[in-house]
Structure 1
Amino acid sequence: MVVGVMPGRLYEAQERRLSPSDVLVLYTDGVTEAFNASREMFGVERLIEAVRTHSALSAQG
């Protein structure tokens, strides 16, 4: 699912059913392009690893 990527582009509407055990991750490039104190970019790979590591946790914490 892509939200608001490019003005004027046409996108096809689709529906997806999620199971209770599914994980939906919504993020912006501000997450993957963030830098730490050592000037290392967070990146997509770290985001994927963080989701894998924490996906079993409750959304309520």
Structure 2
Amino acid sequence: MTDAELDTVYTRLCKTMTQVGEANAPMFLARFALLAIEKIGDADVSLKLIDAAGEGASE
């Protein structure tokens, strides 16, 4: 994925979260995560990504 594509995807993610609203953002992100995990199709990769995303998240 190019930097421009990454920017496009991230921008769409942010705009969609704004559209669904703050109250619905956690459910949207959970659904997105499940769809992404299914598409990735590899438990080890998915677990490593979850760990990476969680690093520093509670600080």
TM-score (norm 2): 0.28
Task: Name the structure, 1 or 2, with higher relative contact order (CA <8 Å, separation 6+).
Answer: 1
Rg comparison, structure with higher value: 1
